[in-house]
Structure 1
Amino acid sequence: MEKDNKSIEFYKRLKIQLEENTSWPAVYLYKFIVPANKNNVEKIEQIFIDNKADFSKRDSSKGTYSSVSIKVLMESPDCVIEKYIEVSKIEGVISL
């Protein structure tokens, strides 16, 4: 339950920051780190597939993790947060 409350508070703060600092619609840059596994990267790409996003992927020096950056036009802070929530369901993902 505590993790859920922390997540709720995090997303509330993020929404306020996005509303105050950005004119919408806007291009938003997502960054994620996932355990190196083609499946994990594909799952993230599928979440953004309908958004005509620009993807870039880079593996760590030891090949243990993959860094995924996604640049995409988003309509609102709520849309940004919705994608973060979808990606957070992927096991081992870290949102930056």
Structure 2
Amino acid sequence: MAMQEYDKLKELLANNKKWPMPYMFKFIVPNVEGRVQQVVELLPKHGNVTYNHTKNLKYVSVTCRVSMKSADAIIEITSKVAKIDGVMSL
């Protein structure tokens, strides 16, 4: 995700005046070399994480529903996960 995309996300999140707020992280992760675990380790520990595999098991959808304290906290997690090779952020 390019920096301007984070700026757009931050702007959208800034419109929310009530923090903390519920947020849903969603990533599509290649099902190879422990990448799913890498993503999960970066997600908030108090979140509810669910998984959904594609039919051919090549990818795993990782969803985390969690209460977040700020837009910056959301962007920090999203940017760290985006650095993992092959991960797509939704």
Task: Tell me the TM-score normalised to structure 2 length.
Answer: 0.91
Counterpart-to-counterpart distance in 1, 2:62 and 2:33 = 12
**Residue in 2 that maps onto 1:67:** 61
SS at match of 1:55: strand
Equivalent pairs: percent with the same residue? 33
Report Cα offsets for 1:14-35 as digits up to 9, x if no partner.
Answer: 1111111452111110100011
Moved more, 54-63 or 31-40: 31-40
SS at the partner of 1:67? strand
1:85 to 40, 54, 79: 79
Higher helix share: 1
Please, which runs of 5 or more residues in structure 1 have no aligned partner?
Answer: 1-5
1:94 aligns with 2:82: no
Amino acid at match of 2:11: I
1:21-60 matched pairs, under 5 angstroms: 21=16, 23-37=18-32, 39-49=34-44, 51-60=45-54
TM-score normalised according to structure 1 size: 0.86
**1:45 to partner: Cα distance:** 1.1
CA spacing shift, 1:43–1:22, aligned 2, 3 Å: farther
Provide the alpha-carbon RMSD of the alignment: 1.6
Aligned residues: 90
The CA distance in 1 between the partners of 2:17 and 2:33, in whole Å, is 33
Q: Distance in 1 between matches of 2:17 and 2:78?
A: 17
CA distance in 2, matches of 1:9, 1:61: 34
The ranges of structure 1 where at least 4 consecutive aligned residues each deviate by more than 6 angstroms after the TM superposition are: none
Give the drift of 1:37: 2.6
